[in-house]
């Protein structure tokens, strides 16, 4: 079986020679792999993809974005959900599973089913099939954008909340998909445009199924993530996830590829609460590598305070039959079953395990035998969209907004322009935004721009004349169609104008408090005490400050 490491795939030379491909490879570049609409493209690499990658190795994202600037919390799968994202791809036996999932999500799950479509008539077909399984088609939202495969867990958007914890703004974190599937890899950009959620690109090659996390900052992945990013250490990868998602990730050993070709952690573990987890139990393979890994992880998490529930797992003929690859959506849990291959006994044991783990939820079993042989089931073919967390205002939810720039502490000289950036969110849509300026610390406001589009940026032309203002503030207000509003006035004041060089506390007055503040900065070795900007904090900084403090106030 293969190793999924993008930059170091196993040597396919004997296979290429045997298949007669070697001569064509030498003669000309291979054509890019194709993904017919109803093809059973597996979660793992196809032969065509392995051949393609020999000439076209995967690279980290070229357009990495800076990490979020505000406080961040990564959304868990067990908190309130607005919807579940699905892709209408593959043969009828696969889309029947998608339709059953959508039926449960749009009824008992009390959520929306967002379905990615890329062919004429797919919405009509999907509506008909979901309806045949008892779904509520009024709760389906179709997202037009090309997909290559059904495996949206691996390439879809991972949600974060950014800003004020009481009313945060949703954003998405993306990565470079660990498959040469360009439409899949670009799909998060389509989704970001569709939902107008802030988009962040990680500098990692990754498959999203190789991560599980809770809602308080603990995350888990297998060593696969290190193998996929040979230029980075485990510590560096953990730090990247911390910067973008504010999570602390523990990396476990992966399963052997002859047991599970994906090596993804979601095939053998599911976190259902801040302190509860379901882990596979290899009761027929005691002492095996996968058994050792699961037992070790169960013991480690129990020791950390988790309630651990075990559920049987089987590996038959290279297929990993998993019961942890499930989907939680509000008050329901969609759990796979395999009545023909594994039988009612194991299916019932899995049902009992999930009922033990989630006693207050409705467990819905869906037959996944048609897709499991392609290396994944329901968790692999969906992504979660958490609910908007705006305050209840009247008959609906108010928007949320996070002001990204001019949050306080800056010095903004007069003249020129200044970008005022924000991110806004709503359960429906933000209709418009107003940007306001205060010159008295927020007591009174005047509007710089009124009811403008929610573009995320306003370019402020700063007045060229006027007095120094030590307590200026910018406020961004978002409004939805129901005239509900939310605003963010930043955190502290900023200084508008040109302060005196010795005005350390930026109150537009040079006095003994500035002297005390500088002495404290100097004593602690703060970079702010580098008064002469020579990158060295020494006695010359102190002398230069005293000279400025004693002398006339010079702009």
Higher pLDDT, 24 or 180: 180
User: 290 with 415, same domain?
Assistant: no
With contact defined as beta carbons under 8 Å apart, do 387 and 75 qualify? no
- Of 122, 143, 133, nearest in space to 38 by CA: 122
pLDDT tens digits, residue range 160-211? 999 998 899 999 999 999 999 999 999 999 999 999 999 999 999 999 999 9
With contact defined as beta carbons under 8 Å apart, do 477 and 507 qualify? no
> 23 pLDDT exceeds 50?
no
Asked if residue 62 is part of any domain, the answer here is no
Query: Could you give the angle at which helices 122-132 and 92-105 cross, rounded to 10 degrees?
Result: 60
Asked if residue 1 is part of any domain, the answer here is no
With contact defined as beta carbons under 8 Å apart, do 435 and 451 qualify? no
pLDDT (0 to 100) of residue 281: 98
39 Cβ contact list (under 8 Å, min separation 6)? 90, 91
User: pLDDT confidence of 71, banded at 50, 70, 90?
Assistant: very high
Helix (H) or strand (E) run with residue 298 in it: helix 289-303
User: pLDDT confidence of 549, banded at 50, 70, 90?
Assistant: confident
User: 119 with 229, same domain?
Assistant: yes
With contact defined as beta carbons under 8 Å apart, do 148 and 41 qualify? yes
Asked which of 366, 386, 406 is the last residue of a domain, the reply is 386
User: 272 with 347, same domain?
Assistant: yes
**Secondary structure (3-state) at 137:** helix
> 15 pLDDT exceeds 70?
no
- The two structure tokens encoding residue 434: 């107003």
* Report for 2-6, 422-426, 545-549: range of highest mean pLDDT: 422-426
User: 179 with 46, same domain?
Assistant: no
pLDDT (0 to 100) of residue 8: 34
What is the count of structural domains for the chain? 4
> What CATH code is carried by the domain that includes residue 316?
3.75.10.10
422 Cβ contact list (under 8 Å, min separation 6)? 401, 402, 403, 404, 433, 456, 457, 476, 478, 488
> What CATH code is carried by the domain that includes residue 429?
2.60.40.10
User: pLDDT confidence of 26, banded at 50, 70, 90?
Assistant: very low
pLDDT tens digits, residue range 477-489? 999 999 999 999 9
User: 338 with 403, same domain?
Assistant: no
Average pLDDT over residues 214-243: 97
> 7 pLDDT exceeds 70?
no
pLDDT (0 to 100) of residue 547: 78
pTM of the model as a whole: 0.88
User: 287 with 375, same domain?
Assistant: yes
Asked if residue 60 is part of any domain, the answer here is no
Q: How many whole angstroms separate alpha carbon 200 and alpha carbon 174?
A: 6
Asked if residue 368 is part of any domain, the answer here is yes
User: 118 with 203, same domain?
Assistant: yes
Q: How many whole angstroms separate alpha carbon 304 and alpha carbon 319?
A: 32
> 553 pLDDT exceeds 80?
no
pLDDT tens digits, residue range 514-545? 778 788 888 888 888 887 788 888 888 778 77
* Beta strands per DSSP E along 415-520: 417-425, 430-438, 446-452, 457-461, 469-480, 485-488, 494-496
Q: How many whole angstroms separate alpha carbon 357 and alpha carbon 267?
A: 17
Asked if residue 505 is part of any domain, the answer here is no
Q: How many whole angstroms separate alpha carbon 522 and alpha carbon 549?
A: 15
Asked if residue 451 is part of any domain, the answer here is yes
User: 38 with 95, same domain?
Assistant: no
User: 313 with 459, same domain?
Assistant: no
Q: How many whole angstroms separate alpha carbon 427 and alpha carbon 169?
A: 11
> 506 pLDDT exceeds 60?
yes
Average pLDDT over residues 246-256: 98
Q: How many whole angstroms separate alpha carbon 468 and alpha carbon 465?
A: 9
Asked if residue 63 is part of any domain, the answer here is no
pLDDT (0 to 100) of residue 28: 56
Torsion 445-450-453-457 (CA) sign: negative
Asked if residue 253 is part of any domain, the answer here is yes
pLDDT (0 to 100) of residue 555: 46
> 369 pLDDT exceeds 50?
yes
Region of poorest pLDDT, from 236-250, 252-266, 434-448, 503-517: 503-517
User: pLDDT confidence of 29, banded at 50, 70, 90?
Assistant: low
Buried b (16+ CB within 10 A) or exposed e, 149-160: bbbbbbbbbbbb
Q: How many whole angstroms separate alpha carbon 496 and alpha carbon 222?
A: 50
Asked which of 386, 416, 451 is the last residue of a domain, the reply is 386
Strand partners, 305: none
Q: How many whole angstroms separate alpha carbon 529 and alpha carbon 514?
A: 12
Higher pLDDT, 80 or 507: 80
Q: What's the DSSP call for residue 56?
A: S
User: 491 with 523, same domain?
Assistant: no
User: 169 with 187, same domain?
Assistant: yes
The number of C-alpha atoms within 13 Å of 157 and in the hemisphere containing its C-beta is 31
User: 32 with 135, same domain?
Assistant: no
How confident is the prediction for the chain on average, in pLDDT? 91
Domain range for 546: 512-550
């Amino acid at each position: 079986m293969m190793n999924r490491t993008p930059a170091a795939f196993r040597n396919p030379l004997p296979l290429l020679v045997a298949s007669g491909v070697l001569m064509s490879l030498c003669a000309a570049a291979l054509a890019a792999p194709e993904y017919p609409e109803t093809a059973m493209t597996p979660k793992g690499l196809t032969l065509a993809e392995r051949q393609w990658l020999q000439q076209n190795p995967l690279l980290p994202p070229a357009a990495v974005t800076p990490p979020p600037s505000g406080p961040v919390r990564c959304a868990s799968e067990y908190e309130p959900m607005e919807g579940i994202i699905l892709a209408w791809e593959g043969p009828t036996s696969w889309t029947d599973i998608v339709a059953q999932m959508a039926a449960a999500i749009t009824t008992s799950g009390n959520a929306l089913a967002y379905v990615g479509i890329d062919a004429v008539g797919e919405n009509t077909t999907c509506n008909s099939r979901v309806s045949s399984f008892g779904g509520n088609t009024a709760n389906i939202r179709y997202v037009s954008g090309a997909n290559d495969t059904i495996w949206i867990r691996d390439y879809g958007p991972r949600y974060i909340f950014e800003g004020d914890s009481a009313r945060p703004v949703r954003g998405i974190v993306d990565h470079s998909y660990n498959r040469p599937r360009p439409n899949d890899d670009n799909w998060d950009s389509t989704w970001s445009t569709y939902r107008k959620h802030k988009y962040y690109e990680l500098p990692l090659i990754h498959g999203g199924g190789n991560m599980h996390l809770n809602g308080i900052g603990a995350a888990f992945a297998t060593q696969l993530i290190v193998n996929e990013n040979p230029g980075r250490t485990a510590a560096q990868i953990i730090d990247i996830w911390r910067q973008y998602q504010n999570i602390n990730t523990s990396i476990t050993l992966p399963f052997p590829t002859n047991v599970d070709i994906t090596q993804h952690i979601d095939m053998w573990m599911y976190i259902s609460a801040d302190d509860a987890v379901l882990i596979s139990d290899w009761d027929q393979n005691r002492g095996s590598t996968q058994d050792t890994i699961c037992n070790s992880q169960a013991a480690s998490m129990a020791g950390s305070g988790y309630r651990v529930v075990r559920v049987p797992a089987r590996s038959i003929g290279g297929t990993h039959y998993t019961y942890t690859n499930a989907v939680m959506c509000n008050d329901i849990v969609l759990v796979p079953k395999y009545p023909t291959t594994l039988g009612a006994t194991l299916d019932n044991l899995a049902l009992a395990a999930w009922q033990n783990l989630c006693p207050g939820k409705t467990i819905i079993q869906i037959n996944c035998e048609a897709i499991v042989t392609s290396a994944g089931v329901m968790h692999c073919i969906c992504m979660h969209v958490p609910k908007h967390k705006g305050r209840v205002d009247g008959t609906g939810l108010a928007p949320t907004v996070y002001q990204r720039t001019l949050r306080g502490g800056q010095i903004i000289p007069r003249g020129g322009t200044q970008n005022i950036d924000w991110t806004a969110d709503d359960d429906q849509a933000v209709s418009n935004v107003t940007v306001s300026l205060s010159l008295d610390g927020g007591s009174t406001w005047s509007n710089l721009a009124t009811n403008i589009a929610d573009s995320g940026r306003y370019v402020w032309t700063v007045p060229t004349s006027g007095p120094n203002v030590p307590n200026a503030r910018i406020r961004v207000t978002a409004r939805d169609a129901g005239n509900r509003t939310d605003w963010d006035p930043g955190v502290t004041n900023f200084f508008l104008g040109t302060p005196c060089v010795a005005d350390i506390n930026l109150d537009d007055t040079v006095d003994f408090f500035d002297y005390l503040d500088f002495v404290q900065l100097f004593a602690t070795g703060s970079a702010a005490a580098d008064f002469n900007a020579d990158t060295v904090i020494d006695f010359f900084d102190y002398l230069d400050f005293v000279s400025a403090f004693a002398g006339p106030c010079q702009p």
